[in-house]
Amino acid sequence: DNRIIVQDDGQRYGQIGRLNNFYKSVKEDVFITFDADTTLGNDRVVNEILKCFDNPQVTLVGGNDTPLAGGSLVSRIGVAWVSAWYQMRHRINNGDTVHNHKGCASAARTNFLKTINIPPEVIANDDFLYFSNIAKGYKFKFAEKAIVFYKIPTNFNEYMTQTTRFISSHEKIANHFGEWVYDYYQVPLINKISGIFTTFLKHPILIMLGILLQIWQRLTKSYYGSNSQSIFWKEIRSTKS
């Protein structure tokens, strides 16, 4: 398809380096990114994202990242936890929360992106865009029907490395924007209880194991998080097959 342009200069700049390059060079009104290891849930995903920009105040849009059913015990635990997590966060502030903007499915107006340069030490580019959007007084929209599937790691070490990467990124975001961002990461207790209870009814054992893993992540984040300090983080191979 001659509409597809492959950019390959033989250099490796990391995801953030490449995104910064794209932000400066894109010419279209809206720029959409999907992670390479994701699958669009249906043929309406792009349209669902673009509809959000009918509101001229909306500058940033997040798709609905949804895990595929897992085969191993670790991935099944991960899927159960993400199911609970979705129940906890998807209705916060009518969907306008940092937790609903994930890099696996993100879109923004290019006039906003051209003002952005993500620092190399900031691993969470999705969080950086969300808080940049707030800082500039713009609006975010969660495209809940724009479902994008992804795989959860199938082994324990890769699961811990990937998920701890997200936890350990909050401090770097706060160092850049200020302590106020921590308020946006908070999830109301009632949401947590509701999400866990709803998932417990379907997967009682898996969600309990998921809670234990969440606790273990926070106790060991200094160890697993150290694998994510470089812009070239360790590849999670089990999600690529």
Query: Is 94 exposed, middle or buried (CB count within 10 Å of its CB: 0-12, 13-18, 19+)?
Result: exposed
- Report CA dihedral (229, 234, 236, 237) to the nearest 10 degrees: 170
pLDDT tens column, 62-81: 999 999 987 899 999 999 99
What is the residue-wise DSSP string for 126-171? HHHHHHHHHHTT-EEEEEEEEEEEEPPPSSHHHHHHHHHHHHTTHH
Has residue 59 got a pLDDT over 70? yes
pLDDT tens column, 134-177: 999 999 999 999 999 999 988 888 888 877 777 768 888 999 99
Report the distance separating Cα 216 and Cα 96, nearest Å: 29
| CB 154, CB 220: distance < 8 Å | no
What pLDDT score does 231 carry?
47
% of the chain with per-residue pLDDT over 70:
91
Helical (H) or strand (E) element with 63: strand 58-67
The token pair at 3 is 């509409």
Do the strands 139-150 and 58-67 form a parallel or antiparallel pair, or are they unpaired?
A: parallel
Beta bridge partners of 147: 64
Has residue 54 got a pLDDT over 80? yes
Has residue 19 got a pLDDT over 90? yes
What pLDDT score does 237 carry?
61
pTM over 0.75: yes
What pLDDT score does 32 carry?
96
Report, as an integer, the average pLDDT of 217-234: 62
